[in-house]
Structure 1
């Protein structure tokens, strides 16, 4: 174990993530943004683009700040590569997805909560990979790393493609809802959520770490529940919504 690593923050942070995931399932209510936004008449809010940028930014800035301090080599140690994958995801979420988003205005109170979560999770994952992870030289050929990175890239591809489909549903200025078509939306209502869940399961496998496992569990709970509520929303407002389409897992759920 690297000498700079303190186990207490890692254990507390991981336990907090897992607890948040369990509480999300226990209460079972959708977060009040996007399709599930309540009245904005009295609530302070920002545009979806500004809100998503500000919310996701800490998850990129914190690990990127640690990453640039690592040794410059063509192919660094596994922990540096894995931290780089984390940064790649949040670079896209912060600087690409946020500016393609055409969603509804975002409540500032949820923006604050989301930013705090992103800051904490970004710090937890990057702290572990920078100061605690100690992979052997042969980790690049380990099946956990190979399969995990494959799932991460696959999930990110699904997530980006699905988000692109959603962003193209509306023309600028439109506020109506439409049924997403194409890609994994052919089979599930939450294709974008499924992609991100696969990503973080792959990340947990590739890092073989408690913080990443806790984050994957949280993502499964939070995004899985959101996919369920999206699925129910679509069935409620579209009488012709495809009956065979599931919420999150093709042909199953």
Structure 2
């Protein structure tokens, strides 16, 4: 049962087997994925960490270029959010803010794939399917959860405006640090470098820190159990991934500053 104190901040969980299952799946699967990142056994076969540690492994799976793989990963979730905005009107300000935030989140990702990120590797089909399916289910679930929440009374403590501001801070900071990463290598260069600028002098993954901030903003806009569950799970996964990223930089660069943390300045 959700305590009365918690119900001051979130809607009661709807009687939906689908959303109950998705909330549990989000927490369990993402926490496990984060632990696997820490142990160095990630199932997500992409990024410099995987490509370096698994470079001698030949895959028989169909592969996409990094750019095409990520486009396929993000596009279904973006379409789901835009469709909800177009087809589910008059659902109230909170629903509009939540659905708009999800649409903007995935639009930004698609924009970065097309115009910001530089890719040197490939993505196997199974990784594309897992990422695409996960994000699509997130978009559908968080929007559906918000739709069902309309039958309940609003939480006593309204966080949607604070959540909108938090989301904007998160998505802006994430985009800025992705832009800095994209400028590390000039055209034709393939060697990796230690990131500079922004918060990179404090943590090696400020883009993950701001991504978590963005998801916290979405949770505050939504104030539903599912959104909170996904944010918790995503935070656990990105924490594990940031730990693995810092470990990779320490192994590849002898001059990597030891005082640069993984995710949280001065702490972790």
Instruction: Give the equivalent residue in structure 2 for 1:77.
Output: 93
44-53 or 82-91: which moved more?
44-53
Is 1:241 paired with 2:250? no
Match of 2:10 in 1: none
- How far is the alpha carbon of 1:136 from its aligned partner? 6.1
Q: Which residue of 2 aligns with 1:51?
A: 69
CA contact (8 A) 2:35 2:240 kept: no
Shift of 1:161: 0.5
Match for 2:219 among 204, 227, 231? 204
Q: Which deviations, in whole Å up to 9, do the C-alpha atoms of 1:69-117 show, x marking residues without a partner?
A: 13379xx5211221111111111112x1111221222222211111111
Instruction: State how far apart, in whole Å, the 2-side matches of 1:189 and 1:135 are.
Output: 42
Query: Which one has more relative contact order, counting CA pairs under 8 Å at least 6 apart?
Result: 2
Alpha-carbon separation, structure 1, partners of 2:90 and 2:20 = 30
Counterpart mapping for 1:127-166 below 5 A: 127-134=144-151, 143-166=158-181
CA distance in 2, matches of 1:232, 1:241: 10
Between the aligned partners of 1:200 and 1:25, the Cα distance in structure 2 is 16
Deviation of 1:217 (Å): 1.1
Tell me how far apart the structure 1 counterparts of residues 151 and 112 of structure 2 sit (CA, whole Å).
Answer: 33
Uncovered stretches (5+) of structure 1, i.e. residues with no partner: none
SS of equivalent to 2:185: coil
Is the 2:219–2:227 contact (alpha carbons within 8 Å) kept by the matching residues of 1? yes
239-248 or 126-135, which deviates more = 126-135
Match of 1:88 in 2: 104
- In the other structure, the counterpart of 2:234 is 219
Distance 1:156 1:119 in 2: 19
Answer whether contact 2:24 2:229 (CA < 8 A) is retained. yes
How many residue pairs match? The answer is 244
Which string of whole-angstrom CA distances, capped at 9 and with x for unpartnered residues, describes residues 121-165 of structure 1? 11111211234345768x8x9552232222111111111001111
What runs of 5+ residues in structure 2 fail to find an aligned partner? 1-13
| Distance of 1:79 and 1:249 partners within structure 2 | 31
2:142 aligns with 125
1:166-195 Cα offsets, whole Å, 9 max, x none, are: 111122332210111111112101111111
1:19 counterpart residue number: 28
- Whether the 8 Å CA contact 2:34–2:241 is kept in 1: the answer is no
Alignment equivalent of 2:118, drawn from 75, 81, 102: 102
Out of 172, 177, 194, which is 2:192 matched to?
A: 177
TM-score (norm 2): 0.83
Equivalent-residue separation in structure 2 for 1:135 and 1:80 (angstroms): 17
Q: Which residue of 2 aligns with 1:112?
A: 129
Secondary structure, aligned partner of 1:150:
helix
